[in-house]
Amino acid sequence: MGSPKSAVDGLEARWGETWEREGTYRFDRTRERSEIYSIDTPPPTVSGSLHVGHVFSYTQTDTIARFQRMCGREVFYPMGWDDNGLPTERRVENFYGVRCDPSVPYVEDFTPPAKVPSKRQDFVAVGRRNFVELCEQLTATDEKVFEQLWRTLGLSVDWSLTYSTVSQYSQKISQRAFLKNFERGEAYSSEAPSLWDTTFQTAVAQAELEDRDRPAAYHDLRFHSVSGASGDGVTISTTRPELLAACVALVAHPDDERYQPLFGTTVTTPVFGVEVPIVAHRLAQPDKGTGIAMICTFGDLTDVIWWRELDLPTRPIITKVGRVTSDTPAWLATEAGREAFAQIAGKSVFAAQQATVEMLRSSGDLLADPRPITHPVKFFEKGDRPLEIVTSRQWYIRNGGRSEQVRDDLIARGKDLHWTPEHMRHRYENWVEGLNGDWLVSRQRFFGVPIPLWYALDADGEPQYDKPIVPDDAQLPVDPQSHVPAGYTAEQRDQPGGFTGDPDVMDTWATSSLTPQIVTGWSEDEDLHARTFPMDLRPQGHDIIRTWLFSTVVRSHYEHGSLPWTHTNLSGWILDPDRKKMSKSKGNVVVPSDLLEQHGADAVRYWATSARLGVDTAFDPGQMKIGRRLALKIVNASKFALGFGSAEGAGAEGAITDPVDEALLAQLITLVEQATAAFEAYDYSRALKLTEEFFWQFCDDYLELVKDRAYGEGPGAVSAQTALRTAVSVLLRLFAPFLPYVTEEAWSMASTGSGQRLPGFGAGSIHRSSWPAPVEIRDLLKGSDEPAAGELSVLAVAADVLRQIRKTKSDAKKSVRAEVEKVVVSDTAARITAVQAVIGDLRAAGTVAELVTVAVDEADAKVEVTLRETEPTAS
């Protein structure tokens, strides 16, 4: 952590071991639901390493957990690992140099290549079972690294509650919930067009899409008139001429007068000579291109809508590998059309486009040179190639995309949820209102939770999808690829008259959407479930409102008829110096382990919790340096304040008799009230700001004012010592959610010479002590009357005078302990009264021989300081 070694170095290891040994954060499941605060912690994706963005958001949640625990609530705070899905599979492929091929048989004691091939096409093909074993092996290693980093950061989770989304337990919960959705009609399968990633070879859901600007070009094509029209035909503009062979219609807006006479007529496609109708639809854009477009199956999502609503034929030519099919389509009736198709058969999309353009140019049907444009193209958020739309059988869960009633119900759920910040609710509502289809939950991958169904095969070996074979609940979890359904034998697998297992796994969100059910023991541990569900808090990033938050609301709405939690906190992004979001995919992340080593966990936590919820924040090591300085000052200030022991003996406090001590405690009451209110509103950053500002004023002003008196004897010394200990006790507890290590270290110093604890410092960890309450401070002021609001200036006025004395010494380049011959304070009568109340402390703190006060009008207020052997200086 740097040299030389400081008082805050090494605290993470020492206190981390103590917390684990003593079970400081262990959840007590015997508490009643009203006494429990339950957190649905995001399970980070196990795909390599955590980055500073994770540290940022998870630390913010930890402050809430620690605050609630200190307020007396038992905090249910588990951690999970999202260890299935495409990112994990890609990491395993790249780490071991393998790729999954289900046709490859299982190999006992398989050993991956000693060296990873440089090209993906050279990766070793392994069977599904071997691939899953490698996934389990690598994620187990990654999870240990993740846990150690979280422990070092000081997350106060109960590690005995840790789960993974692909464990046998989680698979059972996930499959049970899916089967209940299926039984109630909320889950269904359908053979339909779906977005397909040609790299990952899987269908992709709407929530996983992102638009990326890509270069393209408009091509003006002429379609030839056939019936009911005259002239040279119809001209359309398209960016995808390679789909011309998949054209099923031309479409224009019903109100477009240019094309109204053509509705109901037909034209033939150039080059391929297929007759297609001209139809009307409201989604056609009169101001785009020539105002009339070709409908292909399928070029984009609008094609799907047109195809479905206009009941058009299906003529797909793009395969799942992103190439034009090698089989000549049956709808190409002419020899010329079949010969033209031979020119693009088997080609990549790009090559097919080039070949089609050349054929159009040769036939004279390309009416102008292509016009370059840049336009948004749909990508899988983790993919690197544009998505295609192919027809495949997939599983869906109804999410309101095709049901107004479900959509309204889910929007109502969003209104019942407490959002921080509140404006994030509008993102949720906009997403729900913009859905155009149900949630696609099946994936054509390998490492995940299997779809728990089999299908009977007819005499021809064709699956009977409308009559799936459902396992008994007692059988869960099941893997249809290895387990056999009741009434069949293993030899009947994939045989006519036998059965076949559903080959797909669930989307990772289909399991992650059940984290409240998984962690609370739904359907497995009903006692725990009753004590922890619905949960109190869902913390997460604002960028996954449409995926994790929404999908969790959907599952809870169906299963429980309620929200899964009452509150959600949305954290912002971490931005790099160019104000771009930090992410592993962009390669601009900072490794948190390096930051923890360099600055210490408390300093990193200080930076993370200085930012408000929902606000994107620039990565700033400078803030971490400030946090480290604060941690050091807390240790030093605590050593001083706690070094006096207890004048009244352990277990008792002395009387507060001095006005400046009374003023300090009165201000401390206000701080506690404001910091508590901020935390209760989930505004932890304000609580930190208020506490930090008070602490520095406490160190710079109050400590210096009372230092000499505290070292003395008698009632004045007892009053100062009691106020110091009280302030440190309260401040340490206010800082504890943010800086757990240094506050625990300082808290441990509060012992008398006999080993007993000082008053105000309970036994055990600070993190199991009570959150400070105004009443405990007011109790110390009994008998001395708590200062009225107008009297709280005593400390502030004294601090102002002391600063002027110091400034004079500094300007004269004198030591802070340089002697002052005389100080004359000219001020209003009210402020002079305040100065006179602390005149002894001021003289001692400023080493002032004589201090004189003069009542004047506010405009004439000044402090005159005369140093030994110098002329008076006015300020």
Residue-wise pLDDT tens digits, 29-77: 999 999 999 999 999 988 767 888 889 999 999 999 999 999 999 999 9
Looking at 313-423, list the stretches that DSSP marks H as alpha helix, in order from N- to C-terminal side.
Answer: 335-342, 349-363, 404-416
Mean pLDDT of the region 192-213? 86
Distance separating alpha carbons of residues 651 and 368, to the nearest angstrom: 93
How many CA atoms does the CB half-sphere of 42 hold within 13 Å? 28
Res 329: pLDDT? 95
Residue 614 dihedral angles phi and psi, to the nearest 5°: 80, -5
> 584 pLDDT exceeds 90?
no
Measure the CA–CA gap between 615 and 439, rounded to whole angstroms. Answer: 29
| pLDDT tier for residue 576 given thresholds of 50, 70 and 90 | confident
pLDDT of residue 64: 98
Tell me: pLDDT of 789 over 60. no
Of all residues in the chain, the percent with pLDDT exceeding 70 is 95
Average pLDDT over residues 152-174: 96
The answer to whether residues 586 and 699 touch, using CB atoms and an 8 Å cutoff, is no
Encode pLDDT of 555-564 as tens digits: 999 999 999 9
How far, in Å, CA of 690 to CA of 671, rounded? 7
pLDDT band at 649 (very low <50, low <70, confident <90, very high): very low
- pLDDT at 648 > cutoff 50: no
Q: Which residue has the higher pLDDT, 208 or 158?
A: 158
pLDDT band at 737 (very low <50, low <70, confident <90, very high): very high
| pLDDT value at residue 651 | 41
So what's the pLDDT on residue 84? 82
> Quick one: average pLDDT of 188-193?
91
pLDDT at 646 over 90: no
Q: Per the structure block, which two tokens stand in for 637?
A: 């200030």
Q: Is the pLDDT of residue 587 over 80?
A: no
pLDDT in tens, 261-300: 999 999 999 999 999 999 999 999 999 989 999 999 999 9
Residue with more model confidence, 90 or 421: 421
**pLDDT of 758:** 87
Pairing between strand 617-618 and 820-827?
Answer: unpaired
* Selection from 87-96, 364-373, 866-875 with the highest mean pLDDT: 364-373
User: Who wins on pLDDT, 167 or 791?
Assistant: 167
Going 743 to 749 to 750 to 756, the CA torsion angle's sign is positive
State the DSSP H helix or E strand holding residue 103, giving kind and residue range, or none if neither: none
Alpha carbon separation from 609 to 230, 377, 606, 849 (Å, rounded)? 71, 37, 5, 46
Task: Render pLDDT for 835-853 as a digit per residue (tens, 0 to 9).
Answer: 998 999 999 989 999 999 9
pTM for the predicted model, two decimal places: 0.86
Of the pLDDT bands very low, low, confident and very high (cuts 50, 70, 90), residue 249 is: very high
Q: Which segment of 418-422, 585-589, 600-604 scores lowest on mean pLDDT?
A: 585-589
How sure is the predictor about 1, in pLDDT bands with cuts at 50, 70 and 90?
very low
Query: Among the ranges 96-105, 153-162, 705-714, 753-762, which has the highest mean pLDDT value?
Result: 153-162
- pLDDT at residue 20 in the model: 96
Quick check: 842 and 801 in contact, CB under 8 A? yes
Q: Compare 202 and 431 and report the one with higher pLDDT.
A: 431
What pLDDT score was predicted for residue 52?
A: 87
- Distance (Å) of CA 632 to CA 8, 178, 531, 628: 6, 53, 40, 6
Give residue 588's pLDDT band: very low, low, confident or very high (50, 70, 90).
Answer: low
How many CB atoms neighbour CB 188 within 10 A? 13
| 26 vs 786 pLDDT, higher one | 26
- Whole-number mean pLDDT of the chain? 91
Gap between the Cα atoms of 774 and 781, Å rounded: 11
DSSP characters over 768-833 = GSPPP-HHHHHHHHTTT-PPPGGGTHHHHHHHHHHHHHHHHHHHTT--TT--EEEEEEEE-HHHHH
Of 174-178, 765-769, 802-806, least confident by mean pLDDT is 802-806
Q: Which of 603, 569, 449 is nearest to 65 (CA)?
A: 569
